[in-house]
Amino acid sequence: MNQSVKKKVFIKTFGCQMNMRDSEIIWEVLLGAGYEMAASQEEADVVLFNTCSVRQHAEDRVIGNLCKLAARKKKDPEFKIGILGCMGARHGEMLLKEYPFLDIVAGPSDIYSIREALEKVFSGEDKVLAVKNKKRPRKKVGNVYWRGGFSAFVNIMYGCNNYCSYCIVPFVRGGEVSRPKNEIINEIKELVQKGAREITLLGQNVNSYGKGLTNKIKFPKLLEAVNKIEGVSRIRFTTSHPKDADKSLFRAIKDLDKVCESLHLPLQSGSNKMLDLMNRGYTREEYFDKIDLLRSMVPDVGLSTDIIVGFPSEKEKDFKATEKAMETIEYNSAFIFKYSPRSPAVSACLVDDVSEEVKKTRNNELLAIQKKISYRKNKELLGSRQEVLVEKMSRMSKDEMTGRARNNVSCVFPGDEGLIGQIVKVEVTGASAHTLKGRCVKEL
């Protein structure tokens, strides 16, 4: 870059873990090109929003943040603003037209050309629309940039082929592309050298990992390979699709010592009619059978889920079926979402006929049910000893530390900052719906 003074960039990330990792990749590109990190939006020469389109609310938040910058842009035309990520891919040129103060729009697959885009806008050329790639190109930028801490995200695949009828992801992230095993292993080794101890493998549907690769490999085999890497203490992964999660995955969770006993398995609805309309590819009975099998193999597994309430034509009896499913399965935690139509996802053609009020009531009812279940499940752990990776000081007290047990439940216990990054044994002495309380009994 031809800059006497380095330009400062601020990236604000919205959405899921894939976006958090994408923001790191954007840093890999920009730090390599001579840009610097700004400590705040105010001191930045460029603000980039790495955005999410999963529900309307997520997009509204981005637009709210974007509009706050309009006044500054008016005073300072040299200041540049970009919308990257899923909203960029979803709306493309429309964003540049609707928000004339915006300089760059790019999708998730176009983040590798962000350097060229910035060069163009800084050299006074016109605005840049860099939404070109549908599928994610397999690129390695250079050295891995990692935000630090003890936990690192590693993409094992990009995109999604599932086309659940409500979901925007396949449209904005393109079709599935798996990364070769060696590329993943080398990236993890690099991260371990930098200090990462917990690795979370990312994919929209990790169970279909390996398709299209020349060296045939399936996800459990990849877990086996990651399990062998020296310096990795813990392995997590997200997300598993219930139609593809099978015994070989459950066996990997059971047998591989570093793979945590925890699974996020989004149910979405407990009603077969809704599951069919959602194009999920399984019935509630098949889902229940998988949970039974998993629990018979890994009895102390931590389970979490995603649920959508108010999908088009969801009747009270469909909702009750979801309620019943949650009470039967007893997840450790659950994310509950109100349905939001996302064109061009196909369900956007169905009438959004469940009122906002009913969606809200159903959402609150499920949250209340889950809270009781989480509390009950946490109380069952009283007296047990949990292996906790110490992450940070507790927000409530500077004399307490917090981290996650292997089942992914948070755990708070007296301790000091010297423990950060270590794995300790905690005896559980108290429980609330969201956390376990305990005391450190022995460092491992």
Stretch that binds ligand F3S, among 14-22, 120-128, 228-236, 242-250 (CB under 6 A): 14-22
Using CB under 6 A as the binding rule, whether residue 204 contacts ligand SF4 is answered as yes
438 in Cβ contact with 429 (< 8 Å): yes
What minimum distance in Å lies between the beta carbon of 89 and ligand SAH?
Answer: 15
Q: Least separation, in Å, of the C-beta of 172 and ligand F3S?
A: 6
Smallest distance from the beta carbon of 171 to ligand F3S, in angstroms? 9
Q: Does 306 bind ligand SAH (CB under 6 A)?
A: yes
With a CB cutoff of 8 Å and minimum separation 6, the contacts of 271 are: 284, 314, 317, 318, 319, 321, 322
| Window 397-426: residues binding ligand F3S (CB under 6 A) | none
370 binds, among ligand SF4, ligand F3S, ligand SAH, none (CB under 5 to 8 A by kind): none
Binding map of ligand F3S across residues 19-38, x = CB under 6 A, - = no contact: x-------------------
CA 138/CA 136 separation, integer angstroms:
6
Count other Cβ atoms within 10 Å, centred on residue 145: 18
Question: Which C-beta is closer to ligand SF4: that of 205 or that of 322?
Answer: 205
In whole angstroms, give the CA distance from residue 264 to residue 200.
Answer: 12
CA–CA separation, 139 vs 145, rounded Å?
14
Rounded to whole angstroms, the Cα distance separating 433 from 410 reads: 10
| Binding-site string for ligand SAH from residue 332 to residue 351, where x marks contact by CB under 6 A and - marks none | -----x-xx-x---------
Residue 423 interacts with, from ligand SAH, ligand SF4, ligand F3S, none (CB under 5-8 Å by kind): none
DSSP 31-71: HHTT-EE-SSSTT-SEEEEEE--SSHHHHHHHHHHHHTTHH
- Backbone angle region of 213, left / alpha / beta, with phi > 0 → left and psi within -120 to 50 → alpha: beta
Out of 204, 333, 363, 386, the only residue in the binding site for ligand SAH (CB under 6 A) is 204
Select the binding partner of residue 340 from ligand F3S, ligand SF4, ligand SAH, none (C-beta < 5 to 8 A, by kind). Answer: ligand SAH
Distances (CA, A) of 160 to 178, 240, 246, 312, 403: 10, 12, 19, 23, 31
Q: By the 8 A CB rule, do 159 and 174 touch? A: yes
Q: Which of 9, 26, 29, 52 binds ligand F3S (CB under 6 A)?
A: 52
* Shorter beta-carbon distance to ligand SAH: residue 270 or 438: 270
Q: Among ligand SAH, ligand F3S, ligand SF4, none, what binds residue 112 when CB lies within 5 to 8 Å by partner kind?
A: none
Q: Which of 96, 167, 321, 423 binds ligand SAH (CB under 6 A)?
A: 167
Does residue 53 touch ligand F3S according to CB under 6 A? yes
Asked if 209 touches ligand SAH (CB under 6 A), the answer is no
Sign of the C-alpha dihedral computed for residues 292, 298, 300 and 302 taken in this order: negative
Q: Does 238 bind ligand F3S (CB under 6 A)?
A: no
Query: Which DSSP string corresponds to 261-294?
Result: SEEE---B-S-HHHHHHTT-S--HHHHHHHHHHH
Alpha helices, H only, 309-355: 316-329
- Cα–Cα distance measured from residue 426 to residue 441, given in angstroms and rounded to the nearest whole number: 6
Among positions 148-167, residues that touch ligand SF4 (CB under 6 A) are 160, 162-164, 167
Question: Which entry of ligand SF4, ligand SAH, ligand F3S, none binds 83, CB below 5 to 8 A by partner kind?
Answer: none
Classify the phi-psi angles of 362: left when phi > 0, otherwise alpha if psi is within -120 to 50, otherwise beta.
alpha
Tell me how far apart the alpha carbons of residues 174 and 170 are, in angstroms, rounded to a whole number. Answer: 5
User: Is 86 one of the binding residues for ligand F3S (CB under 6 A)?
Assistant: yes
Q: How open is the CA angle 311-313-318, to the nearest 5 degrees?
A: 80
Q: Give the binding-site size for ligand SF4 (rule: CB under 6 A).
A: 10
Residue 194: alpha-carbon gap to chain centroid: 22
> 426 and 441 in contact (C-beta within 8 Å)?
yes
Least separation in angstroms between residue 166's CB and ligand SAH is 4
Q: How far is the CB of 171 from ligand SF4 (least distance, A)?
A: 9
Q: Please identify, using beta-carbon distances, which residue of 300 and 306 lies nearer to ligand SAH.
A: 306
Which residues sit at the interface with ligand F3S, rule CB under 6 A? Answer: 15-16, 18-19, 52-54, 85-86, 168-169, 172-173
Which residues sit at the interface with ligand SF4, rule CB under 6 A? Answer: 160, 162-164, 167, 169-170, 204-205, 241
